[in-house]
Each structure stands twice: as structure tokens, then as C-alpha cells.
Structure 1
Amino acid sequence: MEIANLPIPPSQRAKLLAAGYTTISSLSSISPSHLSRDLNIDFQEALDILKILSDASRFNNVAGNPGIIKGAQTAWDMLSEEQMQKHITTGCEDLDAILGGGIHCKEVTEVGGVPGIGKTQFGIQLAINVQIPVAYGGHGGKAVYIDTEGSFMVERAYQIAEGCVSDILDSFTDHNRDFSACQDKLQPNSFLANIFYFRVCSYTEQIAVINYLENFLTEQKDVKIVIIDSVTFHFRQDFDDLALRTRVLGGMSLKLMKLAKTHNLAVVLLNQVTTKFTEGSFQLTLALAGDSWSHSCTNRVILYWNGNDRYAYIDKSPSLPSASAPFSVTGKGIRNATSHCKRVRMM
């Protein structure tokens, strides 16, 4: 288990990482006095850290069973990992709340909505937010952005990075804390340098890039999110054989789910909407939202308009209740809503 995933304050986590302690095993034989000297903290604080580490080690081993075949994992291990897993903030507190803390790693989340609702803004915001340093409560990771429509705007990404840096500096005003090691990362240019951008112009290119991701993620171990904007664009344009399209999309979704689990990262699929004739009228629905595609994601979030306000609605999740939350698209990116409507209506 990595130190970065432990439930300890960000300042303590940063000091451990700066001192070269990256895993629990690296601290297994360290005494409180030794740790106190290494981190320049008092004895009691070092003792508290080691107690948390001991508890985390017990979580990993309590349900261990030497008879389990290699590759298996117990439900207890899964629960322990999930409880210690950090989520990627969306930038909007209300939206994070209904998502259980933000976008989940090891899961595939589909985000759909009408044009202009803010899907690409949402994707760029996540590509920036995943890079928030560990010392400031983030992942300190990198992002892969697969653009199928040409909607990614680097100037907008720079603005959102500036907004993220500004919010971080405003939130951490305690000058007694030493965050100097992270200052070089809190530059908009650094955020843009950690977004790996792929522009794909056909469904064959899209499949090729997704197949290549396994090797790419093995080389780039810090990648914590993969965003596809939008996932169904080329499949709606270029496919006449619907049965073949279903099989190809199914294979692609399985690869993405495996990547999310294997590399402990979040996969976010941005999706368009289309019209569907049901119950005697045309209604808006997510593109390719049939029975087969419905299994392609763990969570589904729909962005919609309620009057002049933007809302996000959890349409599907195995662990989260259906709920909606307002959000705004500002100059800084995705943020809390500036106004709230009492009446919420789905599109």
C-alpha cells in the first residue's frame, strides 16, 4: 500500500513522501523517535502516524488467506481500499457531495448532456484537478485526454489551470506549513505539461489509441485519469453495421474497465445526446444508450438545464443514490452554482 493513499493529513503525507517514505513497508521498522527526527515533528505526532500505519497494515492482512489463488482479492481488502481511496474533485462542492466525494478511481463514469451544457469544460476541469499536489489533498497525478471532436481548447485549459492554482493558494493560507516543495508544480504551464493529448479522427484511430493505452500507462505510472471526449462520436458517424458496432463498443468498454482497475485510475466518458422515439414522442437520450452500452460504465451522470441553471443528475450508480446538484461554468471552470432553483426538473 502506498503512503499517498493513507488517511492522514496532507501535510504529514507530504513530509513522509519528501523524506523518501512511499510505502507502509518502508516504515515497518522505524521507531517514533527516528521518524520524529526525519520529519522534524514532535514525538507524539510521529507516534500517531505510526499507529495509523499499523491499523492500515492490519486492514490489509486481517482477512488474508494463504489458500486463495493468486490474483484473487477478498471483499474485506476491497472495502479497505475503497475507504482509503481519494476521489478527484469536480471543482463544485455540491456535485462532489452527490458523487460521494468526487469522481472515483478504479471506475468508469459516463457524463452526458446537450451541446453547450459544459461536458468538455467538465473533462478539462478533471484533467486539471487530478494534478492537485498530494500536499494540498489531491492526487498529484497526470491525465490522458482523448479528443474525438476537436473540442479541446488549450487556452481554456490554461484558464482553468490558473483558476485551480488560485483556489489552492486561497485555501491554504497557513504559513506555518511548509509547502515549498510543491510551489514549482503550482504553475499553469506545469498543469498543461501533465495532460497527454490524443486527437483521433476515426473510430479505427480511437480503438488503436485505447489498445495502446496499456503500454502507455505502464510507462507513465502517474496517470490517474483517462478522459474520452466524446466516446461515441465516430461510432455514430461511420458505422452502418449495428451488430458490429455493438461488439466493437463492448470490447472497447471492457478494455477501459480493465485499465481503470489495473492502473487505479478514473475513466471518464463524455457522451452526446440524441433523440429517441418512445411512447409516441421524441425524447432526448444519451447516444448509443441501449441495453448493451448501459453496461459500459459504473456510474452515469447527466448534465441538463433547469431554466437558466445547470444541474447534474446521477442516473446510474451501484453505490450512490439518485440525486441532482446545481453547478456553474465560470471563468475558472466548474464551480458551485451562483443561484439555486427550488424546482428541479429532468430534461
Structure 2
Amino acid sequence: MASRALKRAGVSPELCQRLKRSKIESCKDLLSRTPFEVMHAAGISYQEALEMLESVSRVIAPSAITALELWKRQSDCCLSTSLPALDKVLRGGLPCGSITEVAGPSGCGKTQLCFMLSVVATLPKELGGLDRSVIYIDTESAFSADRLVEIAQSRYPDVFCVKEQVLQMAGRVHVFRELTCQDVLNRLERLEELIISSEAGLIILDSVASVVRKEFDTTLPGNLMHRSNLLGQEATALKYLAHQFNIPVVLTNQITTHTGHQGAAGEDCGGFVTAALGNTWSHSVNTRFIVQYIDSRHRQLLVAKSPVAPFAVLNYVINKEGLCMHDNDGEEVLYQGTDPSLQTIRVRTGLEMDTK
């Protein structure tokens, strides 16, 4: 990624300091300069400047990989969801090196699932975890340390029965509260060193839609394009981090209402609820879960998009342990549309269920 610090691209600390005086701190800064500018800023020969530019270019350029290498890498590492039925559908859990999105209405357990995954990531490998830390970016001020601990102790009572184990787990979840779009993007672009120093094995962004929808009124001229550009930058940064460190990235997304939808027979179906941020964003994520209401207590998780799993429907409830799946022989859910961004979502309005 072009925003990578020069020292992460193999440039010596001494040269980094010289270049910094000329405001050249990232790979992007360096590669936007001519060899003559680099030569004068770093105090090196023209040939050395050319070699530095070529070396940095090779570092940030995408490298080729064989299918065999990719298969070995992915088969060696998955993050268990701690939900056996879901892990079975996903062939082991959330794939490392890719982005998983959880979209749905408020109250369906998106943040609860993020807490569960945070706990699992810190567990020892022999217990199904990654034995790594977690980077948790909270854009809705919804993170609750008390709830994190409650889920850990309820879901793994034998592991977290000792206070020291609870403290160790909580100390490995690094929470950043970012409340503007630019703050989120800046945080993502500065995460490399923290991932290395903290040995992070999971990145969570809860939620990707919150700050974007608050800041951009897409009915105003230019805002839709500006929002799309920003989301594109965030997606690029997240994909880079997932691939570079071979770790799973989990995002939560909100819902929106589309109008004027027509059914297969051409009949007018009125408005329908679907994942927010549009069709282009839906193609930025590798795996998409949709969570929705069945009734006041029961919910459903739909695997709407996955490179390894078919469309699947799993029922669950939310309790002290977080999400719990028991009976998954529930009603059939038909896939609406040819794209996961068009999958309709059931929401709850008061005591009535909206199935549009």
C-alpha cells in the first residue's frame, strides 16, 4: 500500500530521517518524486536514488502467488466463529486474508458477534483460537467491556474462571473510538505498526456505515461520488491489511430501504430493506452475512455471499453467551435477486415483523 511508511519498505533509518526533512515519509511520497528530487533530499547519488525508487516500487507492488501457495495459506488459518453450524458451512470459520461483513438491523446481534469473535481470537490455539490480539475500531460508541467479559465468562467458563485470564483477554483487545470518516481512514492507514507490535490476529470495524451515513447526504450534488471515493479508500486499506498480514477483517453494516422494486413476474413489490452503502460496496467484501428478525426472540443469519459456502440459513437467539444456534431446520428462505446487495432483510417495527 502506497501509504506504508518508508521504514516498512526497507529504507534505512538514517535515510528515512533525511527524507523526512523534505516531507517524504511514505512510499507514496517517495514514488511521487523524481530521481533528482530523491537524490537531493536523501543526499545520495543519482544511481542510488534510482535503486531506492525501484526497491520501494517492488515492495508495494502486488506480488504473484500460485494457487497452491494460496490454498495452503488459507487452509492453515481460519478464525472459528464458536458457532459449530456456521463453521461447518464456512469450512472451518472466517477465512484469514479476507473481509467478512455482517449486515442487518439494530438489535440482531452484530456487535455481540464482534465481541464473540474478539474473545475467540485471544484464546489459545488448542482451544480453537488464534492466540493473538484484536484491533477493534468502534464508530458508534457501542463497545462494552462489561459485555465482552460477560460473553467470555459465559461462553468459556472453564477458561475465564480465573481473574488473571479475564484480565489477559481484555488486555489484548485494543479499542479505538473513531467518530468521523477521516479518522477511520487515518486509523486504518496507520495500523501496520500496531498489528506487528501487538501481534494482532483480527481487525473489527463496527460499523463501516455509521460515520459515512451521518456525514454524507447523498441527495446533495457531489456527495455520492465523495462517499464512494472514501469507501473505496477504506476498502483498499482493509484489503491490504487482510492480505498483507493474512488475518480476517470483520465489518458491520447497517440497512437501507429501496423503493420501486419489481418481482420476478413484473409485479410491484413496493419498498424493501437491504444492506446499506450500495452495490459497489457489496463487491468490496469477500463474505457477507445478513442477520434479520424472525420474531421478537429468534433471529436468522444468512450466508448471502461467500467464496467457499453456498447460500445458507441459520437460526439463532441472543443470550448471556452472545449468539447461540440450536435448531437450524427452520423455514426456507428464498434468495431475492442476483446480487447479495439485493437480498431483502426482515426488520422489526414495534411488535410487528416487516418482511418486505
Choose from 171, 191, 199 the match for 2:169.
191
Which residue in the other structure is 1:26 paired with? Answer: none
SS in 2 for 1:166: coil
Q: How does 1:1-347 map to 2 (within 5 A)?
A: 71-85=63-77, 87-166=78-157, 187-220=165-198, 222-240=199-217, 241-277=223-259, 278-279=261-262, 280=268, 281-290=270-279, 292-307=280-295, 308-337=297-326, 339-340=327-328, 342-345=330-333, 347=346
**CA displacement at 1:185 relative to structure 2:** 9.5
Are the structure 2 counterparts of residues 167 and 98 from structure 1 closer, same or farther at C-alpha, using a change threshold of 3 Å? farther
- Contact between 2:103 and 2:253, CA under 8 Å: does it hold in 1? yes
Kindly report structure 1 stretches of 4+ aligned residues shifted beyond 4 Å: 183-186
State the alpha-carbon separation in 2 of the partners of residues 219 and 340 from structure 1: 41
- Contact between 1:143 and 1:225, CA under 8 Å: does it hold in 2? yes
Q: How many pairs were matched up?
A: 262
- Contact between 2:135 and 2:200, CA under 8 Å: does it hold in 1? yes
> What letter corresponds to residue 117 of structure 1 in structure 2?
C
- Contact between 2:104 and 2:110, CA under 8 Å: does it hold in 1? yes
State the alpha-carbon separation in 1 of the partners of residues 312 and 292 from structure 2: 13
> What letter corresponds to residue 272 of structure 2 in structure 1?
Q
SS in 2 for 1:256: helix
Q: Which is greater in Rg? A: 2
- Contact between 2:102 and 2:251, CA under 8 Å: does it hold in 1? yes
Which residue in the other structure is 2:26 paired with? Answer: none
**CA displacement at 1:140 relative to structure 2:** 0.4
State the alpha-carbon separation in 1 of the partners of residues 315 and 294 from structure 2: 9
State the alpha-carbon separation in 2 of the partners of residues 70 and 162 from structure 1: 42
Give ranges in structure 1 of 5+ residues lacking alignment: 1-68, 170-182
Are the structure 2 counterparts of residues 186 and 340 from structure 1 closer, same or farther at C-alpha, using a change threshold of 3 Å? farther
TM-score (norm 1): 0.71
Higher relative contact order (CA 8 A, sep 6+): 1
- Contact between 1:146 and 1:198, CA under 8 Å: does it hold in 2? yes
**CA displacement at 1:262 relative to structure 2:** 0.5
State the alpha-carbon separation in 1 of the partners of residues 316 and 159 from structure 2: 19
> What letter corresponds to residue 217 of structure 1 in structure 2?
I
SS in 2 for 1:224: strand
CA-atom RMSD in angstroms: 2.2
- Contact between 2:122 and 2:132, CA under 8 Å: does it hold in 1? yes
- Contact between 1:95 and 1:312, CA under 8 Å: does it hold in 2? no
State the alpha-carbon separation in 2 of the partners of residues 78 and 309 from structure 1: 38
SS in 1 for 2:79: coil
Give ranges in structure 2 of 5+ residues lacking alignment: 1-60, 218-222, 263-267, 334-344, 347-356
> What letter corresponds to residue 330 of structure 1 in structure 2?
N
Deviation track 1:229-260 (CA, whole Å, cap 9, x = no partner) reads 11111111112411011011011101101100
> What letter corresponds to residue 300 of structure 1 in structure 2?
R
- Contact between 1:133 and 1:139, CA under 8 Å: does it hold in 2? yes
> What letter corresponds to residue 276 of structure 2 in structure 1?
A
Are the structure 2 counterparts of residues 70 and 252 from structure 1 closer, same or farther at C-alpha, using a change threshold of 3 Å? closer
> What letter corresponds to residue 140 of structure 1 in structure 2?
D
- Contact between 2:288 and 2:303, CA under 8 Å: does it hold in 1? yes
Deviation track 1:298-338 (CA, whole Å, cap 9, x = no partner) reads 1001011223422111111222111111222221222223x
SS in 2 for 1:206: helix
Deviation track 1:1-58 (CA, whole Å, cap 9, x = no partner) reads xxxxxxxxxxxxxxxxxxxxxxxxxxxxxxxxxxxxxxxxxxxxxxxxxxxxxxxxxx
SS in 1 for 2:212: helix
Are the structure 2 counterparts of residues 262 and 332 from structure 1 closer, same or farther at C-alpha, using a change threshold of 3 Å? same
**CA displacement at 1:297 relative to structure 2:** 0.6
State the alpha-carbon separation in 2 of the partners of residues 293 and 117 from structure 1: 21
Are the structure 2 counterparts of residues 165 and 343 from structure 1 closer, same or farther at C-alpha, using a change threshold of 3 Å? closer
TM-score (norm 2): 0.69
- Contact between 2:74 and 2:96, CA under 8 Å: does it hold in 1? no
State the alpha-carbon separation in 2 of the partners of residues 90 and 289 from structure 1: 27
Which residue in the other structure is 1:22 paired with? Answer: none
